[in-house]
Structure formats: C-alpha cells, structure tokens
Amino acid sequence: MTTQAQRTMKALNILAKWRTLFAGWQTGTRAKGDPEGDAVRDHREVTILLRAEMSALVGLLIRRGVVTEESWHAALEREAKQLNEDYARRFPGVTAHEHGLTIKPDQVIGWMKGWKP
C-alpha cells in the first residue's frame, strides 16, 4: 500500500468514527452487538463514506475540466427530481416539498399497515 493510500485509509477510518455518534442520536445509546444499533452504525458508516467519496470524485472531475460545476448541478437536480417522483410512486399519498412531507392518511393506510408506531 502506498503512503497516500495509507494516509487515505487513516483519514477514512477516523471519519467513520462519527457513525457511533449518529447512531446514538437516532437510536439512543446501544452496545455493540445490539442488532438495531449495529445496523444503524453500519448504515451511517456507508452514508458518511459515500458522501466523502462523492465529494472527492465530483471535485476532481470539476478541477480536471471533465464536467463543469453548472453541468454537475443540473445533473444532480435532474436526479433529485426523478428520485422524488420515484419515491412518490412507491409511497402513494406522500409528497415531499420544501417544508417537509405531506401525508394523506386515507391513501397510506394500506402500505403502512404493520409499521411500528
């Protein structure tokens, strides 16, 4: 492993430590080995690392002139709008807007049956 790769892994390992704080924020203090706590910690780690990787990749592409910042923003806007539409189709009766979610109880009762309170 190169020196740069070692430094990168060290930085990523340090960054990933935040998973514990975020998991505790979401589920309360949980010991390692608690299935729900472990699942949230694992998910938070993936999310943290993906954010760092995407920021690095996009920054590199912009600095190298492969894409412009404007074209990146336009592509990201398209993807966000498409995913929002996909979620609305997947969860009928729920719509997202700038101030949160609107949920129509008469339309969600079927697919929400069995959800934890």
The residue written with tokens 């608690």 in the block is: 34
Per domain, the residue ranges of the chain are: 3-67
The per-residue pLDDT for range 49-68, each reduced to its tens digit, is 999 999 999 999 999 999 99
C-beta neighbour count of 23 within 10 angstroms: 23
**pLDDT for residue 116 is more than 90:** no
* Pairing, β 100-103 against β 94-97: antiparallel
Give the three-state DSSP class for 95: strand
SS3 102: strand
| Residue 97 in this model has a pLDDT that exceeds 80 | yes
Cα torsion angle, 76, 81, 85, 88, sign = positive
Residues 68-81 have pLDDT tens digits of 999 999 999 999 99
**Spatial CB neighbours of 69, under 8 Å, sequence gap ≥ 6:** 62
Mean pLDDT score of the chain, rounded to an integer?
Answer: 95
Q: What is the pLDDT of residue 92?
A: 97
> In the prediction, which pLDDT does 117 show?
73
pLDDT (0 to 100) of residue 21: 92
